[in-house]
Structure 1
């Protein structure tokens, strides 16, 4: 299992691009910039432990970085506290720990979707736009490919709307697990 680290370094605004470039070149996974009240910028850098060691050496030449390990699931489930039901046209996306709304019509397509640690709870505008396209374009018997399927919400919606050939694929193992679990939950396990 990959060990993840969070590196924190405070820099002057003029050094943000330099620091970012240095650590991106090492292969970090992400950088969060947070302006501070004094005008400095705090950079939070996420990376694997082996990359963190290199990044700390490079950064320590000019700045004072700190690092701490990140638990494998730290924060990954915090979003669940803010999850909500989403309605996109006639599709209603319900997280399994929430109640299905009482105003759901029999003609609505209710999907129970748990994204787990994958993308695809319908909270993001692009997912909702794609679901609108599923409502508009998917007809019984058509074929659909969901590339970068995340939770599988688009593939599952297409299958439930009658697509007979549905392929869902992703490079993230968590996404494949979430898609298969959600497909089973929504009775379309033959994706």
Structure 2
């Protein structure tokens, strides 16, 4: 299927307002291309291992692109964009305001990233393999090979925070444990736990797309629903979901972000057995003290802290 790509040449100041406008119009795949340098924290959060050696100079310009299928009246959308630029120009600089139309195939913007996702050894005996790639030559019978197609979901598993979680799961999880994976993404940690001997894993994510993708990945890896189950929901906001989760878990793992782990630490104990462990990762080192204090304030005792580059992982248990 071919899509019409609409690209607006504008300024960095207008990016957020234009993006919000396009979102309200129901267009797909909004992209922003600017020359604003990334901070170290932003680069880490992007899960990017390599960046170009030379970055262009920030000149204040930006391009905002979106994609239209055949259900859109292209001329009508372009007219609306032109009118919105004129309106915004009364308040902020909007730049060149050129509106460029082109055609693109699905593969141009949905699948190109696959060229950069290669098999890799996540941990000593755990290998993550994209479904469209062959297994690496160094894989042995003792390795756990997990096939993943992230689709539009978050997580190829290559980031330090995932490695930190794996190390702590290997250290604290026992054969036959029940595991709750909060923020399960594309399902990697859930599948790792199952392969490491968990009796039952429940993965929860707020993103419906992530849940759909993780279920597909579960089937690809020949894991049954009795072994690993996925639900869509928000344990911080959905009381009915919280009440449906039994307090039976030996391990709760959350590889999310510090700003989610902080409120989660006030909720998660009700899912845990008395001697259970809460393994949390995704914590940038600038947030370490805040997360530690949140755990202590919510009656956890921190039993282990590990780090990798700029990232921190805590293991905590109930302070009974």
TM interval, short-chain normalised: 0.7 to 0.9
Q: 1:105 to 1:34 in 2, by over 3 A?
A: same
What CA distance in whole angstroms lies between the structure 1 residues aligned with 2:168 and 2:81? Answer: 43
Give 2:157's match in structure 1, choosing from 122, 138, 143.
122
Structure 1 residues 112, 38: closer, same or farther in 2, change over 3 A? Answer: closer
Structure 1: runs of 5+ lacking an equivalent: none
Query: Structure 1 residues 170 and 38, CA, compared in 2 at 3 Å: closer, same or farther?
Result: closer
Aligned to 2:143: 108
Larger Rg: 2
CA contact (8 A) 2:10 2:61 kept: yes
CA contact (8 A) 2:19 2:64 kept: no
Can you give the 5+ residue segments of structure 2 that lack an aligned partner in the other structure?
Answer: 24-28, 36-55, 229-320
Which of 197, 215, 221 lines up with 1:186 in the alignment? Answer: 221
Query: CA RMSD of the aligned region, Å?
Result: 3.4
Q: Deviations over 1:59-113 (max 9, x none)?
A: 2332315265887665221111222112122211111222212322332211111
Identify the residue that residue 39 of structure 1 maps to in structure 2.
59
Work out whether 1:60 is the aligned partner of 2:108: no
Is the 8 Å Cα contact of residues 175 and 197 (structure 2) preserved in structure 1?
A: yes
Contact 1:6 1:70 in 2 (8 A): no
Counterpart selection for 2:128 from 93, 118, 124: 93
Counterpart-to-counterpart distance in 1, 2:174 and 2:6: 46
User: What is the CA distance between 1:6 and its match in structure 2?
Assistant: 5.3
TM-score normalized with structure 2 length? 0.47
Instruction: Count the aligned residue pairs.
Output: 183
Larger fraction in strand: 2
Partner residue in 2 for 1:170:
205
Structure-1-length-normalised TM-score = 0.72
Tell me which of the two structures has the higher relative contact order, counting C-alpha pairs closer than 8 angstroms and 6 or more residues apart.
Answer: 1
The SS at the match of 2:109 is: coil
